[in-house]
Amino acid sequence: MKIAVINFSGNVGKSTVARHLLLPRIQGAELIAIESLNADEAQGQALRGRQYGELQEYLQTVASVVVDIGASNVEELLGQMQRYRGSHEDFDGFVVPTVSALKQQQDTIATLIELGRIGVPASRLKLVFNMVEDGVTVAQAFAPLLAFVQQQPVAQANLSCRLGVNEIYGRIKGSKADLQTLVNDATDYKALIAQAKGTTEKVAWAQKLATRRLASGVVPELDACFAALELNK
């Protein structure tokens, strides 16, 4: 399975979706980050948007990949995709994360329009409603975007494809931590805290315990969101 994570807008959680939602749930997948900014935080291979020719050649050699397309490269990459006619068909799906801020919703609409214009069918365009606040429904938070998709069905909008706000992503940012590994960690942190000789050591163990608890809460949410994407269809 080959999935592109894309949005004209920044700050919608593309890397979070690529690394923590998709990559662990697509068997054998590798991550390719296409970004010219913050490249030091990328894991896996890194390509610039102008290197699309190299990318589309590489896609022919692998079975499963998640391509995280940074906002600064989206326009150029889409231009290259038009130049290499039919290359959008190399992807089994395009996942478009979005957040509730109006600008990001408008940028998301522009992204969907452009992908549709180059020939990506609605069945391969999947929205992920990201950073949804507690107590707020997707329908409430994303009313403008949902109204557009209803009027122009260029993408699939399943309201169950939602991820809440969670500090776990900030805690593990920049590390290679895997959420499922954190959940499976059987370390008795309470015992280590009790045995610790000083406050600094106690706090360090307490932070690890808190991180595991956060991971245990977010993994089921990620599982449900991935299932709702129905990428296998």
Q: What 3 state SS string does 140-161 have?
A: HHCHHHHHHHHHCCCCECCCCC
**What is the structure's pLDDT at 163?**
97
Report the Cα 17 to chain-centroid distance in Å: 1
Predicted confidence (pLDDT) per residue in 97-134, tens digit = 999 999 999 999 999 999 999 999 999 999 999 999 99
- Positions of the chain with pLDDT lower than 70, given as ranges: 36-50
Asked if 42 and 146 count as a contact pair (C-beta separation under 8 A), the reply is: no
Per-residue model confidence (pLDDT) at position 46: 60
**Which alpha helices (H) appear in the chain, and where do they start and end?**
14-16, 52-59, 71-83, 102-117, 138-141, 143-151, 168-172, 179-184, 189-195, 199-229
Per residue in 71-88, pLDDT tens? 888 888 888 888 889 999
pTM (predicted TM-score): 0.90
Q: What is the pLDDT of residue 149?
A: 97
Q: CA-to-CA distance for 121 and 222, rounded, in angstroms?
A: 25
For residue 93, the cross-strand partners are: 3
Neighbouring-strand partners of residue 47? 34
CB atoms within 10 A of CB 196: 15
Residue closest to 62 by CA, chosen among 92, 97, 42: 92
- Give the chain's length: 233
Which pLDDT belongs to residue 232?
82
3-state secondary structure of 85: coil
Residue 68 to residue 64: CA distance in whole angstroms? 13
What lies within 8 Å, CB to CB, of 170 at 6+ separation is none
Set out the domains of the chain in order of their start, with CATH numbers: 2-166+222-229 (3.40.50.300)
**How confident is the model at residue 5, as a pLDDT?**
97
Measured distance between the N- and C-terminal CA atoms of the chain, rounded to whole angstroms: 11
Burial track 51-78 (b if 16+ CB lie within 10 A, e otherwise): bbeebbebbeeeeebbbbbbbebbebbb
d(CA 7, CA 115): 10
